[in-house]
Structure 1
Amino acid sequence: MSPSPDTSTDTSADDVMEALVRSAFQVMGVMTRISAEHDLSLTQLRVLGILRDRRPRVTELATFLGLDKSTMSGLIDRAERRGLLKRGKNPHDKRVVDVYLTPAGHELEQRLTDEFRRDLAPVVDRLPHHQRVEFTRLFEPLLSPPLVIKPRVTPQR
């Protein structure tokens, strides 16, 4: 049996983690500013991004965002009042409720996407085309399947 690698001393793994965190902070800074400019929370912003090309069930959306169903329902209620999304019967299973963007939601999501591209372009433009292709190829496996953040359980004393 071969010994398991000790990741605590693996400098390359530490470097990758550090780069991921630093890039997340940079992107989250842009997301925070843009969401505030449009009177959205970061979670609402994420919902718009998720719904741009899919129509998940309410429970699937809650799981993906790491939220409980009641929190998700409140978030959906607020976005519905703003006219950004709707709940509706699944076309294949009438017992299931899907969440989807309205035309106004699609329009706002497209404006947000345009703003992200504009604001992140100076960072992306630092890489020549061949490095962008390689970055995307290397990064994609880290994104699929999507990471679902589960709350940490704090031990009771």
Structure 2
Amino acid sequence: MAHQDYGDKLVWLSTLIQRRYAQICAEHDLTPAQATLLCAVKDAPEQMAGLAASLGMTRNALSQLVDRTERLGLVRRESREHDRRITALGVTPAGKVLAEAVYAEVTKRLPAIAEGLDLDDRHHLERIATAIVDAVVKPA
């Protein structure tokens, strides 16, 4: 396969994944950005600076997203006791429930994009997707 064809297939794969993700988010009355934010902080509060970097957003864009999501009662800013200049973001109880629901739906329904593949190809896709994510996403 030519490099351009491969790039084209990756663009379409990305589009399929984004569409499925957006559909799941909409079913929970969230934008994809809000859902991603909730899932990023569902298990523990994260510092805003690190969160902006891990989500690939400017601090200003993250702040605006947090403002909108905070107005929905789903997240809250928290100052660190040892340094009040450091702000972390955590989920509210309602945000935690919603984040868990969205995450469960995404992990259940997103793999369906590969349902037309045979079992061996699905296993290869899972292995390759895992390798890509593990190589790109470094633990904090």
Kindly provide the amino acid, as one letter, of the partner of residue 50 in structure 2.
Answer: E
Map of 2:46 onto structure 1 = 56
Q: CA RMSD in A?
A: 2.8
Stretches of structure 2 that go unaligned for 5 or more consecutive residues are: none
Residues 107-154 of structure 1: CA distance to partner in whole angstroms, max 9, x if unpaired?
11122123334543533333455433332222233223349xxxxxxx
How many pairs are equivalent? Answer: 136
Partner of residue 145, structure 1 = 136
Q: Which residue is equivalent to 1:82?
A: 72
TM-score (norm 1): 0.68
2:83 paired residue number: 94
The alignment status of 1:109 with 2:76, answered yes or no, reads no
Cα pair distance change 1:70/1:137, threshold 3 Å: same
Does 21-30 or 122-131 show the bigger shift? 122-131
| TM-score in terms of structure 2 length | 0.74
Structure with greater proportional strand content: 2
Query: Which residue, out of 31, 34, 43, partners 2:33?
Result: 43
Letter in 2 for 1:94: D
User: What SS is found at the alignment partner of 1:21?
Assistant: helix
Indicate how the Cα distance of structure 1 residues 112 and 125 shifts in structure 2: closer, same or farther if over 3 A, else same.
same
Structure with bigger gyration radius: 1
Aligned-pair identity in percent equals 26
Is 1:14 the counterpart of 2:8 in the alignment? no
In 2, Cα distance between the equivalents of 1:54 and 1:21? 32
Q: Distance in 2 between matches of 1:39 and 1:63?
A: 25
Distance in structure 2 (CA, Å) of the matches to 1:135 and 1:89? 41
Deviations 1:2-29 (Å, cap 9, x if unpaired)? Answer: xxxxxxxx71x43442332111111111
Consecutive unaligned residues in structure 1, runs of 5 or more: 1-9, 148-157
Secondary structure (helix, strand or coil) at the match of 1:28 reads helix
